[in-house]
Amino acid sequence: MISDSRTEEAHPFLAEVSRLLHLMVNSVYSDRDIFLRELISNASDACDKLRYDAIAHPELLGGEDRLRITIVPDRAAGTLTIADNGIGMDRQELIENLGTIARSGTRAFLERLQQANGSSGLIGQFGVGFYSAFMVAGEIEVTSRRAGSGDAWAWRSDGLSGFTISPADPQSAGVLPARGTAVKLSLKEDARAFLEPGEIERIVRAYSDHILFPVELEVPGQAARQINTASALWQRSRNEVTPQEYTQAYRSLTSHIDEPALTIHYKAEGRQSYAVLLFIPGQRPYDLFDPDRKGRVKLYVRRVFITDDAGLLPAYLRFVRGAIDSEDVPLNISREMLQKNPLVGQIRNAVTGRVLAELEGFASRDPGGYQSFFQTFGTVLKEGLYEDAARREQLLKLARFRTTQGSSWRSLAEYVASLRPNQTEIYFLAGESLDRLAASPQLEAARARGVEVLLLTDPIDHFWTVLGMKFEGRPFRSLSQGEVDLTSISLTDDSKAADTPAKDADVKGLIDGLRAALGDAVTDVRASKRLTESVVCLVAPRGGADLGLDRLLQRQQPGANPKPVLEVNPGHPLITAIGRRIAETGKEEAAELARLLLDEARILEGETPADPADFVARMNRMMLRALGAR
């Protein structure tokens, strides 16, 4: 195909688009209203792009600077047209924008879509809103002329095998001659209700009332009339805005259908003037941990949209959505210069502090609601502990943790308030699951003394805990790293453990024998002060990476193989018996028993023995000897 072809061309859909359209055409979603919201949102984006580009190139407006969106229902023809006089698209852009889904996460979207069972919030979260129109339309025709171009093009599809591209007459499609895009839907029989003016107005008021451009309803034979307020909600005073209006704005800005968990709305005045309207969603976006995910806070300058990728909040607040409208940032600033602009930097710093302060207030007045928020977004918020040194103290106050004291979330303030006498450190254990951590032998000494332990299961926990932070003067201390001695903390009354450590002479021979037998398979072997019931456990050397961090790094960089420390419980009857056997039989028996103890410790850590076949053979030999069948 040549790019300037003047005849109709047929193009197949990519496989992902075909799968998506099959789901759309078969009405996966129970709430079909959202197709209109998505098409209006796309039209608004097109107007935003033209208004921004026209700052440097006013000729693109062609003398027509009143940007608007027009909805035209035609009951006689059974069509609904959504038109805008925004930036428009040329032939290649129509093919790329409407024929492919060129973004990461498509496969995840399709998998989630098939499991959605009517959850229309997924469309907006995955940025494939245009295709939702196939829920109500048997055929779609998109006619577009790019601003500054003399050519118009038509894209047509029935949502099945593919689409066609051909030259078009923009006037006959309802597009203004200067530029713009018209999306014409041939509605299915069961979707004719969307041609009723009252139904269109209801949807626009619910989802698109705060689109910053006029949305006009043009019924044939009647004068066009505006059906949205087209006002910047963030420029109004907070006490003038109703909860319903906030919800509408939230849904318009985020394409979510849930309620916001927290709304932040204020105006800053002084050295800089800017208005802020931010929302913390009630649901987690699908791509929260996508490394390519960008921010979702829109930057406006005097009501002119600039970009939603200005980095107005740090990455650990990437779940926040909304808009910031500045009176002072230069209107003609390039997107490339935004990151270096000192005015934008000042806004970023001030708004970040305000968001964290609002979260503190949220936690204070609604602990239950805050815990729900933290369960949804806490993993991301804790990234700030590693990345934002200036705000670590504030972020530690906002953090919530699962601990050995029941199943509820706990703050560090609550932890410190329940410290045991003589306890001077905040103890934690990091791993991959709560159940495995709760069953870890490394907790035994702490449990016997009633010492609360933080159970950390997020990957980021392995990183911020190594930074030497303190909370209210108490350092954080891992129970799986270095030597841990809790004997200065008294045992609880109901503890079955006893502070009767074995004498050095009692275990020296055993430790020496195990150390010699294991060689360089471990960093060291030593008597444990953290075990009260289990026979053995593995810990990381003091000053080395925690065991959980070691495992995490090994998955990313195979080949690294740090050696753990093997700790044995000198008071356990099995260790006592092994000590006697080693003393009696010498090195050969010591090697056999030492390897078994090391593999047992690995299994307790959720790992496999270093050599599973050798482990099984060794176990079989031991059982044969125990049964007298050598």
Residues 185 and 38 grouped into a single domain? yes
Residues 50 and 152 grouped into a single domain? yes
Whole-angstrom Cα distance, residue 418 to residue 572? Answer: 31
Find out whether 46 and 86 touch, Cβ atoms under 8 Å. Answer: yes
Find out whether 548 and 480 touch, Cβ atoms under 8 Å. Answer: yes
Range of the domain at 346: 233-367
pLDDT at residue 115, as a whole number: 57
pLDDT at residue 108, as a whole number: 54
Whole-angstrom Cα distance, residue 522 to residue 403? Answer: 30
pLDDT at residue 77, as a whole number: 95
pLDDT at residue 283, as a whole number: 85
Per-residue tokens: 86: 């925004």
Q: Considering the domain boundaries, does residue 497 fall inside one? A: no
Q: Considering the domain boundaries, does residue 496 fall inside one? A: no
The CATH number given to whatever domain includes residue 211 is: 3.30.565.10
pLDDT at residue 132, as a whole number: 82
Residue with tokens 């699908």: 286
Regions of the chain where pLDDT drops below 50: 1-4, 27-29, 102-106, 117-127
The CATH number given to whatever domain includes residue 431 is: 3.40.50.11260
Question: How many domains does the chain divide into?
Answer: 4
pLDDT at residue 126, as a whole number: 37
pLDDT at residue 291, as a whole number: 60
pLDDT at residue 62, as a whole number: 85
Per-residue tokens: 478: 């891992």
Q: Considering the domain boundaries, does residue 526 fall inside one? A: yes
Whole-angstrom Cα distance, residue 68 to residue 4? Answer: 30
Whole-angstrom Cα distance, residue 464 to residue 47? Answer: 44
Residues 219 and 244 grouped into a single domain? no
pLDDT at residue 493, as a whole number: 76
Spell out the long-range contacts of 431-436 with Cβ–Cβ below 8 A and sequence spacing 24 or more. 431/455, 431/456, 431/457, 431/548, 431/606, 432/457, 432/548, 432/606, 433/457, 434/402, 436/606
pLDDT at residue 338, as a whole number: 80
Q: Considering the domain boundaries, does residue 492 fall inside one? A: no
pLDDT at residue 122, as a whole number: 43
Q: Which of 186, 191, 182, 228 is nearest to 46 (CA)?
A: 182
Whole-angstrom Cα distance, residue 477 to residue 194? Answer: 62
Residues 123 and 98 grouped into a single domain? yes
pLDDT at residue 271, as a whole number: 86
pLDDT at residue 507, as a whole number: 79
∠ Cα 100 103 108 (to 5°): 100
Residues 33 and 117 grouped into a single domain? yes
pLDDT at residue 3, as a whole number: 41
